[in-house]
Amino acid sequence: MDYSFFDFLRLIGSLALFLFGMKIMSEGLQKFAGDSLRRILTAMTTNRVTGVLTGVLITALIQSSSATTVMVVSFVNAGLLTLTQSIGVIMGANIGTTVTAWLISALGFKVDIAAFALPLLAFGLPLFFSGKSSRKSLGEFIFGFAFLFMGLQDLKANAPDLGANPDMLAFVQNYTDMGFFSIILFLFIGAVLTMIVQASAATMAITLIMCANGWIDYYLGVALVLGENIGTTITANLAALTGNTQARRAALAHLVFNVFGVIWVLVLFYPFTSAVSWFVTNVMKITDPAVAVSFKLAAFHTAFNISNTFIMIWFLGLIEKTVCSLIKGKPEDEEYRLRYITGGMLSTAELSILQAHKEITLFAERTARMFNMVKELFYEKNEEVFLKTYGRVEKYENISDRMEVEIANYLTQVSEGRLSSESKEEIRIMLRAVSEIESIADACNNLSRTIKRRNEFNSEFSDEQNKHMDHMFDLVTKALERMNIVLHKPELVHDDINPSYNIENEINNYRNQLKNRNIEDINNKKYQYQDGVYYMDMVSESEKLGDYVINVMQAVVDKKI
């Protein structure tokens, strides 16, 4: 088989198209689907069993475990699924893919999703150029979905065609009589083959050819199938390369799950494989050797994945801890996820209000961290570091928007129940606090944008201006710290708000002082007028931020939350 350097470049280009499709699909999904799809997925994966069933259903329908795991990774990347939920769906995908093996064995049929890629692009084109944001986001999702499967198809097409050249593998006959070492060797070959051809079904076909030609026996065929289960995880891990920490963890969970399954099957290798062989021969009554080996391998594939899922479904927490310890989180990878409020049925009114209070406290802490990022941006000269931190601020702004909606919706649901007048008033004030905290995040985002505009126009503040901004930032920091201290207090008294009022008055007075002084400094040509515009924009936005903080304080002190 002639495989040139140009063919290798085509393979790399196919990988690039696949990764680009994954990125566009994830971003479009996040913008278009947002809360509605996440609520549907959350409802479908409320526990580990329904999560597994969801994975089985999706994979059985689209006939590709690789496609399912890639989509799951994109859902995790977009914040639509938690890591725990994704692991359950991936387990189900492993069972669902066994349907494909049976279809290959019985019918030789497999749905080719890539065939629909170009028609999908035609359908998504008018949406992609639509002026309406929701339609444009849907168009991006469709384009990403199509590119992803076009990339997968091209990966298979441009990889060395081992399926059409099984004679290349005839050499393996030399390694079939080394006992259990042969099993390990063929497991490794199966994993590598699947990584190369990017399709466990294609590797299954190669396995059937090798068994039919008599190169290897049933047990070595099983070893190849076990290797295929490890090799097929490469697709999800490739998809996760452009994802965030949680997406990479989800892909790694797929690998951990399959590796553990392979380990315990190797321990029970001969009893387990012999039991499957007996089932096909004596229960299914398939005695023709040429046909039986195909059904034995399909039956083993099914038995292995069902057994492995049944065992590992009880260890989702352990798998999650394992992948989290292997892939450490980064501050910039913080994901949107409510910690105390969960989907499903509401708790009692008192407990629901308590959970909402904890979530509001966490919300306020995030805005304080966001303001610290703004302070880092103010003096950052390295453009790469600046853009990275600026991106984190924008991400926190998106998180704050979604947290506001989630908490408000939750409180609205709670208020629809049977509550006392005191509890209803408490919820009203909590809604006010949530709105004000989100406004703090907006103010932080506005500050970061002003700093970015200042840098883009090469505007520089004088040492005196920097000194004044430092003092203003210190006052705002004190206000935020005081707000978080009060929010954490289980018992609140009216005196707790007095220090906040003092800080707010100081911020207001300082803003007025700087405003008057700015006009004098511009007239005295201490700095350019445009410098003064950016300067006063930041001073005014800081003062607004202080107003939002005092509004939160008034809400929580007027009524305990």
Average pLDDT rounded to a whole number, residues 402-417? 82
Cα separation values, 136 from 24, 231, 395, 398, Å: 12, 36, 20, 18
pLDDT at 171: 55
pLDDT at 509 over 90: yes
User: How many helices (H) and strands (E) in the chain?
Assistant: 21, 0
Give how far the C-alpha of residue 367 lies from the chain's centroid of Cα atoms, to the nearest Å: 22
Q: How does DSSP assign 380-394, residue by residue?
A: ---HHHHHHHHHHHH
63: region left, alpha or beta (phi > 0 left; psi from -120 to 50 alpha): left
* Distance between CA atoms of residues 39 and 410, nearest Å: 13
pLDDT at 374: 93
Range 89-127 burial, b when 16+ CB lie within 10 A, else e:
bbbbbbbbbbbbbebbbeeeeeeebbeebeebbeebeeb
pLDDT at 236: 72
Confidence of residue 110 (pLDDT cuts 50, 70, 90): very low
pTM above 0.85, yes or no: no
pLDDT at 469: 93
Average pLDDT rounded to a whole number, residues 550-561? 73
Task: Name 121's Cβ contacts closer than 8 Å, sequence gap at least 6.
Answer: 142, 143, 146
pLDDT at 320 over 80: yes
pLDDT at 191 over 80: yes
Average pLDDT rounded to a whole number, residues 206-210? 67
Confidence of residue 109 (pLDDT cuts 50, 70, 90): very low
pLDDT at 239: 67
* Distance between CA atoms of residues 66 and 97, nearest Å: 9
pLDDT at 197: 63
3-state secondary structure of 73: helix
User: Where exactly are the structural domains of the chain?
Assistant: 5-326, 338-558
Which of 441, 466, 432 lies closest to 541 in space, CA to CA? 441
CA angle 444–449–450, rounded 5-degree value: 100
Asked if 160 and 166 touch (Cβ cutoff 8 Å), the reply is no
3-state secondary structure of 216: coil
What angle, rounded to 10 degrees, do the helices at 463-488 and 349-379 form? 170
Confidence of residue 344 (pLDDT cuts 50, 70, 90): very low
Q: How does DSSP assign 500-530, residue by residue?
A: HHHHHHHHHHHHHHHHHHHHHHHHTTSS-HH
Q: Among 102-106, 410-414, 463-467, which range has the highest average pLDDT?
A: 463-467
Which of 386, 374, 539, 537 lies closest to 467 in space, CA to CA? 539
* Distance between CA atoms of residues 78 and 332, nearest Å: 15
pLDDT averaged over every residue in the chain: 78
pLDDT at 105 over 60: no
- For residue range 250-296, list pLDDT tens digits in order: 888 888 888 888 898 888 888 888 888 888 888 777 766 666 777 78
Average pLDDT rounded to a whole number, residues 290-317? 81
Confidence of residue 108 (pLDDT cuts 50, 70, 90): very low
- For residue range 211-229, list pLDDT tens digits in order: 766 667 778 888 888 888 8
Average pLDDT rounded to a whole number, residues 335-360? 66
* Distance between CA atoms of residues 23 and 16, nearest Å: 11
Q: What is the dihedral of CA 332, 336, 339, 341, to 10 degrees?
A: 170
Confidence of residue 449 (pLDDT cuts 50, 70, 90): very high
State the amino acid at position 520 in one-letter form: E
* Distance between CA atoms of residues 168 and 188, nearest Å: 17
What would the CATH number be for the domain defined by 338-558? 1.20.58.220
